Amino acid sequence: MTRSLPELRDQIDAVDNQLLELLNRRATFALEVGELKRAEGSVVFRPEREAQVISGLQERNAGPIKPDGIAHIWREIMSSCRALEARQRVAYLGPAGTFSEQASVQFFGASIDHVPCANFDEVFHAATSGRADFGVVPVENNTEGVVARSLDLQLNSPLHIVGEVSLLVRHNLMRLDNAMDGIEVVLAHPQALAQCHRWLDEHLPHAERRAASSNAEGARLAATHPAWAAIAGERAASEFGLHMVAKAIQDDALNRTRFNVICLPDVMAQPPFSGNDRVSLVVSVPNEPGAVHDLLIPLKRHGVSMTRFESRPARSGQWDYYFYIDIQGHPAQKNVASALADLKSLCAFYKVLGSYPAANQ
- Chain segment 207-225, per-residue pLDDT in tens: 999 999 889 899 999 999 9
Of the three residues 40, 63, 85, the one that is the final residue of a domain is 85
Is 252 within a domain? Answer: no
Domain boundary among 85, 114, 146: 85
Q: How many CA atoms lie within 13 A of 70 on its CB side?
A: 18
The answer as to whether 263 is a domain residue is no
Q: Does 37 share its domain with 51?
A: yes
CB of 166 closer than 8 Å to CB of 361: yes
Asked whether 172 and 232 are in contact (CB, 8 A), the reply is yes
Number of domains making up the chain:
4
Is 256 inside any structural domain? no
Separation of alpha carbons 12 and 297, rounded Å: 59
CA-CA distance, 175 to 249, in Å (whole number)? 14
- Determine what percent of the chain is predicted with pLDDT higher than 90: 52
The CATH number of the domain holding residue 286 is 3.30.70.260
Would residue 286 count as lying in a domain?
A: yes
Q: Which one, of 311, 325, 312, 315, lies nearest residue 353 by Cα?
A: 325
- d(CA 312, CA 284) in angstroms, rounded, equals 10
Q: Over range 273-295, report the average pLDDT.
A: 86
Question: What sign for the dihedral angle of Cα 99, 101, 105, 110?
Answer: negative
Q: Same structural domain for residues 145 and 196?
A: no
Q: Do residues 108 and 72 share a domain?
A: no
Q: Residue 46, Cβ neighbours under 10 Å: how many?
A: 17
Instruction: Report pLDDT for 1.
Output: 66
**Is the pLDDT reported for residue 172 higher than 90?**
yes
Calpha distance 351→347 (Å, rounded): 10
pLDDT in tens, 24-64: 999 888 888 888 877 877 777 787 778 888 888 988 998 89
Domain membership of residue 40 (yes or no) is yes
- The residue out of 246, 268, 288 marking a domain boundary is 246
Q: What is the mean pLDDT of the chain?
A: 89
How confident is the model at residue 361, as a pLDDT? 60
Residue 269: inside a domain, yes or no?
A: no
| CATH code for the domain of 198 | 3.40.190.10
Give the model's confidence band at 315: pLDDT under 50 very low, under 70 low, under 90 confident, else very high.
low
Specify the DSSP element, H or E, that contains 219.
helix 215-222
The predicted structure's pLDDT at residue 318: 56
Q: What is the mean pLDDT of residues 4-12?
A: 88
Could you tell me if residue 325 is inside a domain? yes
By the 8 A CB rule, do 219 and 199 touch? no
For residue 328, the enclosing domain spans: 277-357
In a domain, 306, yes or no: yes
Same domain, 144 and 208: no
Please tell me whether residues 23 and 76 are part of one structural domain.
yes
| Same domain? 187 vs 225 | yes
Same domain, 149 and 184: no
Q: Is the model's pLDDT at 7 over the cut of 90?
A: no
Q: Which residue(s) pair with 351 in the sheet? A: 282
For the stretch 59-100, pLDDT in tens is 899 889 998 888 888 888 888 888 887 788 999 998 888 889
Confidence of residue 292 (pLDDT cuts 50, 70, 90): confident
Q: Per-residue pLDDT for 245 more than 90?
A: yes
DSSP three-state, residue 46 = coil
How far is the C-alpha of 44 from the C-alpha of 21, rounded, in Å? 24
Q: What is the CATH number of the domain that holds 32?
A: 1.20.59.10
Measured in degrees and rounded to the nearest 5, phi and psi for residue 265 equal -60, -30
Q: Check residue 103 and give its pLDDT.
A: 92
Local structure of residue 252 (DSSP, 8 states): S
> What Å distances lie between residue 260 and 134, 165, 167, CA to CA?
10, 7, 11
Residue 92 host element (H or E): strand 89-93
| Span 122-167, pLDDT tens digits | 999 999 999 999 999 999 887 777 888 998 999 889 999 999 999 8
